[in-house]
Chain A
Amino acid sequence: MNWTLLLEQTLNGFQFGILLFLLAAGLTLIFGIMDLINLAHGSLYMMGAYFAATLTKWTGSFLLGAILAIPACMAFGMIVEMIAIRTLYTRNHLDQVLATFGLILFFNEFVRLIWGPIGLDIPLPEVLNGSVELFLGIRYPAFRLVIIAVGILVAFLLYLLVSRTKLGMLIRAGASNRQMISALGVNINFLYTIVFGLGAALAGLAGLMAGPIMTVEIGMGEGILIITLVVIVIGGVGSIKGAFVAALLVGLIDTLGRSFLPDILGLFFSNDVADTAAPAISSMLIYLLMALILAIKPQGLFPPRGA
């Protein structure tokens, strides 16, 4: 076994897990508080990437572009919430799924209309473009390390927000007791808009950080949305802690599975079999993990209280 490759792929898995967490945190928060399943969450991820691409071009700096794209995404999310999402809270899940599916079609077409059908690249500044020596001559791309660091920082801030601030208290109260929160005299509509905006900002952050690694293109949010759904099912719908643990788990298993499964299968079967079967099996791994966890804990790893 190649240890350098193992370390590198573990870090890649970690970095993928962090992106998944940023998406899953918003999605699970929105579900836990508003009881809304939002399939268009992946579109907010896509918008984050497109905003960042454009703003980077305008300002000439990725850093500035990224910093501006986050509030842009939040504002965008809040507008979407006020126009389309708000009427869906009291609807059943089927209505929510259909309406947010309609939003995906709209956003994809909207992006195609404005930015055109061809994907964009986000150029990274010199500093982030290179690689960093970790130790013993093992080098790793600097930008991926930044993603991991930003993700951990955001996770910490989210933890503080939910456990220490008034907004967090309201969020927790909303998750467990809808009547109480209106009794406190808080404008519940405004709170919901803020929470949705927060989720949009997190999704946008994930999108703008994924942008320089992958291409910024239409539909980029759809594949990752489904993996995000797997993450929150594993973690327990509504639980941020569950989303964090499950996101890292899924990120690691998916990445490591894809890079090492051919070798592992090769130990037991002929190379021919391993080469054909490995891509199919490795793409199944996270779903099998989900099935396994659901068989043991149907509510996910960290079922939220009262669920």
Chain B
Amino acid sequence: MKGTPRIIFIVILMLGLGVVPLLADYFDEPFYTVMFSRMLILSIGAVSLNLILGFGGMVSFGHAVYLGIGSYMVGIGTMHAVEDGIEWMANGFLQITLAIVFSALTGLVIGAISLRTRGVYFIMITLAFSQMLYFVAVGNERYGGDDGLSLYMRSDFNGLIDITYDNSLYYLNFVILLLSLYLSHRLINSRFGMVIRGAKSNEQRMRAIGFPVFRYQLVAFVIAGTICGIAGVLSANQTEFVNPSVMHWTRSGDLIIMTVLGGLGTLFGPVIGAVAFLFLEEFLSGITEYWQLYFGPMLVLVVIFARGGIDGMLVGLDKWWSRNSTVKNEEID
């Protein structure tokens, strides 16, 4: 495993992400800090989706809902803090706690209904419920309705972390991404993770050997939603603006694309996918106004031809590399 192109790529990517603000400051291009900050936040969302989609085989098409819930916790809290002078509502720890609680509850309800069904029903129901919450946000005039809320200040973490600066927010995002990666690494290798992966591989068999699959899948669904809710808190602070479009169903689609593009069911795949997705968006929209004209068919081609995503290609590269290096060794012998 050591020193393969894939590992080297991932190490460079993660180290690279770690120094983006420093480089951006050095070259005086603060725009890149903001752009990569978005990548980190969406990476967290994709990592959480990967838990259920990649490892659990649950095709949830409503994952952006939790981004929305987290965002609105910040938006609503900050609005009350600024307009009504209730300062404690801008507290970041409180907002994260509320985001966790409400994401978990939402995940519990949506999961409990949708996990009773399978296949295409599951996809459609998760999609429908996320759209329902989207419309609730649109219809809620008290908190901005369709127009959303502008944040006049970022969350306040009791002075422990000052995220007023983009650089410090960037590192908060980075740390939370690392934590969520570590958490999913532990999860997928634990007994719990074995059950989730087993159910993806062969659900009927899991029941036959005595696993009540539903409750494990439900817990996984809730955990994934909760992590994504935290990403929502970060996202609102990043954009300083909250509106319903953050939970629009196409955002859920984007999260799926990132996860699949990077590599389903691999630890770092979602991060690679999120970074690649936003790069492509940036790159293509720089070339042409009609960038989705190319992006859409590209997606179709990725689905048809590159099944393992970018990570799958790296694995292929590894195989090619190890074959070549053994040949060389033999020649030396």
Contact = CB atoms under 8 A, between A and B. Distances in A.
Contacts of B256: 94, 97-98, 101
Contact of A104 (B117, B119, B125, B296): B296
Interface stretch (A68-76, A106-114, A193-201): A106-114
Interface string B286-320: 00001111011111101110000000000000000
Given A110-B293, A276-B141, A280-B139, A99 B299 contact: yes
Given A31-B120, A233-B125, A94 B253 contact: no
A237 B303 contact: no
Interface stretch (A3-11, A46-54, A129-137, A282-290): A282-290
A84 B59 contact: no
Interface string B203-243: 00000000000000000000000000000000000000000
A100 B298 CA distance: 12
Contact of A287 (B128, B142, B297): B128
A283 B135 contact: yes
A295 interface: yes
Interface string B267-298: 00000000000000000000000111101111
Nearest to A98: B303
A230 interface: yes
B127 A99 contact: no
Interface in A31-70: 31, 37
A98 B260 contact: yes
A280 B136 contact: yes
B121 interface: yes
Interface string A74-105: 00000000001001000101110111011111
B119 A233 contact: no
B290 A102 contact: no
The size class of the interface chain B forms with chain A is: 35 or more
B170 interface: no
Nearest to A223: B131
B297 A106 contact: yes
Nearest to B122: A93
Nearest to B299: A102
B296 A102 contact: yes
Contact of B297 (A87, A93, A102, A113): A102
Interface string B50-78: 00010000010100000000000000000
Given A37-B123, A280-B140, A291 B113 contact: yes
A103 B117 CA distance: 27
Given A91-B303, A93-B59, A237-B121, A294 B113 contact: yes
Interface string A110-149: 1011000000000000000000000000000000000000
A94 B300 contact: no
B24 interface: no
A108 B132 contact: no
Interface string B157-176: 00000000000000000000
Contact of A101 (B53, B138, B253, B293): B253
A283 B125 contact: no
Interface in A275-307: 276, 279-280, 282-284, 287, 290-291, 294-295, 298
Interface of A: 31, 37, 84, 87, 91, 93-95, 97-99, 101-110, 112-113, 222, 226, 229-230, 232-233, 237, 276, 279-280, 282-284, 287, 290-291, 294-295, 298
Given A102-B300, A106-B297, 8 more contacts: A97-B61, A98-B257, A99-B299, A99-B304, A226-B131, A276-B140, A284-B136, A294-B125
Interface of B: 53, 59, 61, 113, 116-117, 119-121, 123-125, 127-129, 131-132, 135-136, 138-142, 249-250, 253, 256-257, 260, 290-293, 295-300, 302-304
Closest CB pairs A-B (n = 8): A102-B299, A106-B296, A105-B296, A279-B139, A283-B135, A287-B132, A109-B293, A280-B139
